[in-house]
Structure 1
Amino acid sequence: MRGGLLAASMALVLLPVQANAGEVWARIPAGAFTSALRYADVPGQTQMEAFELMRTPVTNAQFKAFIDQHPEWRADRVPRAYAESPRYLAQFAPGAAPEHQRPQQPVTGVSWFAAQAYCQAHGARLPTWNEWEYVAAADATRRDARTDPAWRERILGWYGKPSTQPLAEVGRDPPNAYGVQDLHGLVWEWVEDIAALLVVADKRDPGSGNELKFCGGGALNLRDPTNYVVSMRLALLSSLQPADATANLGFRCARSIPSDAPEKPP
């Protein structure tokens, strides 16, 4: 039953969508990266290829434009296999509180399937876990600030704040060293290979081999058990099913760069 869900969900995207003016892409250079996760089949650094990542999360306005062109992803039409939660796009429901409907707030209540469909309609995809962590490791001046205790404490402080206030608009935080904003403290974000973060069977397509992409046959753990920033993200994402939707989970898109593409000036 689940084996065809991914292909079928992509088939729901029938027409290309023009990219909105607010979709600005940051070019992320290639480089060596030591993931916070320890892979049995990758003992050291991973060589990251160059890619592009949206500078900010997808907004309510951007996702609303998408479902206007693709109404099959509206809450009243999407198949339950792709959005099981009653929280799916709750902010667009009649009678929803205005403070959750601001156009420049990050869209939340989006399932993995809907997020991936949005990205694919824009010629993109969800970022992988490694891509997201690679960019999220940066602060304003350093490409990798993860060993700085003050940086970790600041992020943990953001994650620990009670979510009693409406979400802020995207672009509130200064860009990091890659020119990307709002990676910490605004919303959690889907990644493409969410199912592979578990050491158990793949949640999307049994037998696909995706469950081995991260765990290398079952041996996955943290290189640094005290890295609570990554532990919190991993705990949240690995607890989700692709059809889940929550009020604090959004996404941004990534896209690969052809190997023969010219380098952009810094």
Structure 2
Amino acid sequence: MRRGLALLLVALPVVALAAAGNSWVPLPGGSFRSALKYEDVRKVEVAPFELQKRPVTNAEFLAFVKSHPQWRRDRVATVLAEPRYLSHWAGADRLGEEALPEQPVVQVSWFAASAYCEAQGGRLPTWSEWEYAAAADETHRDARKDPVWRERILNWYSQPSNHALPRAGLQTPNAWGVQDLHGLVWEWTDDFSSLLVSSDNRVQGDADKLKFCGAGALSMDDRENYAVLMRVAMLSSLDAVDTTANLGFRCARDVK
């Protein structure tokens, strides 16, 4: 429904924008054990899909804004982005020192991220697709049981995010060939609003429980899945118009 609103209000044309260096990586999908419980079942089926190799950069989003001026920060509809949208750019169509071309774009609303992906002939990845891709390390397609890998990811989550972002694409690709899923920015997912956290004991029996679509739960003290839990909790706290200084995105698309 949100995507329909965005397209209805701005009448986006679906055109393939130049995204130099941000190639599409094929992922085969399959049965995947999610960290979340879906009606007390953790096995989910992920269809084959393609995912952009790295997050969308400032330069790529600037090209989108220039070809779709309705997404400039001085023209965007208030129902599609809050006032902080692209506020770190030097101007409505100019990057500046606080937004270098190869850094991942941040301060972008869900509506804007979704519109960008639509213009690429794609979409935002679902949570299951993102989790599936992000479970890999450099050599294993599912490294979540590796304590060294988990500790490396948790170390990133423990660092303050008040410093300048490095440029996208510096990390070694994981076993799928995808980069920067951890350690750079948080990322929007298409179905972020389905990830629900409630702090009311009366509705879920324990304040330290996470709910997915009101069914099932993941314990807050499940250290093995703590990084996933933090990401879900962060996404579930947002509205589609919100932006933050460390939230970016990448696009996915169905396999034709």
- TM-score, normalisation: structure 2: 0.87
SS state of the match for residue 163, structure 2? coil
Q: Distance in 1 between matches of 2:62 and 2:180?
A: 20
Q: Distance in 2 between matches of 1:237 and 1:46?
A: 20
Deviation (angstroms), 1:164: 3.0
Q: Distance in 2 between matches of 1:89 and 1:29?
A: 34
Q: Give the gaps of 5 or more residues in structure 2.
A: 199-210
Q: Distance in 1 between matches of 2:108 and 2:5?
A: 17
SS state of the match for residue 34, structure 2? coil
SS state of the match for residue 90, structure 1? coil
SS state of the match for residue 45, structure 1? strand
Corresponding residue for residue 30 of structure 2: 31
Deviation (angstroms), 1:243: 0.3
Corresponding residue for residue 207 of structure 1: none
Q: Distance in 2 between matches of 1:105 and 1:167?
A: 6
Q: CA 1:8–1:219 in 2, change beyond 3 Å: closer, same or farther?
A: closer
- Counterpart amino acid of residue 242 in structure 1: A
Moved over 3 A (4+): 93-99
**Map 1:234-253 → 2, pairs under 5 A:** 234-253=232-251
**Map 1:1-266 → 2, pairs under 5 A:** 5-11=2-8, 12=10, 13-14=12-13, 16-40=15-39, 43-84=41-82, 86-94=83-91, 98-198=96-196, 215=212, 218-222=214-218, 225-226=222-223, 227-258=225-256
SS state of the match for residue 217, structure 2? strand
Deviation (angstroms), 1:65: 0.2
Identify the structure with the greater strand proportion.
2
Deviations 1:168-209 (A, max 9, x none): 000110000000000111000000001111268xxxxxxxxx
Q: Distance in 2 between matches of 1:129 and 1:187?
A: 15
User: How many residue pairs get matched?
Assistant: 239
Q: Give the gaps of 5 or more residues in structure 1.
A: 201-213, 259-266
- Counterpart amino acid of residue 36 in structure 2: L
SS state of the match for residue 50, structure 2? strand
- Aligned 8 A contact 2:14 2:118 in 1: no
Deviations 1:117-166 (A, max 9, x none): 00001100000000000000000000001111111111010111122321
- TM-score, normalisation: structure 1: 0.84
Q: Distance in 2 between matches of 1:238 and 1:66?
A: 27
Deviation (angstroms), 1:94: 3.5
- Counterpart amino acid of residue 89 in structure 2: F
SS state of the match for residue 35, structure 1? strand
Q: Distance in 2 between matches of 1:50 and 1:14?
A: 26
Identity %: 54
- Aligned 8 A contact 1:173 1:181 in 2: yes
Q: CA 1:177–1:64 in 2, change beyond 3 Å: closer, same or farther?
A: same
SS state of the match for residue 198, structure 1? strand
SS state of the match for residue 88, structure 1? coil
Q: Which moved more, 1:147-156 or 1:136-145?
A: 147-156
- Counterpart amino acid of residue 116 in structure 1: S
Deviation (angstroms), 1:15: 5.2
Q: CA 1:190–1:94 in 2, change beyond 3 Å: closer, same or farther?
A: same
Q: Distance in 2 between matches of 1:132 and 1:77?
A: 31
- Counterpart amino acid of residue 187 in structure 2: E
Q: Distance in 1 between matches of 2:71 and 2:38?
A: 36
SS state of the match for residue 45, structure 2? strand
- Aligned 8 A contact 1:17 1:66 in 2: no
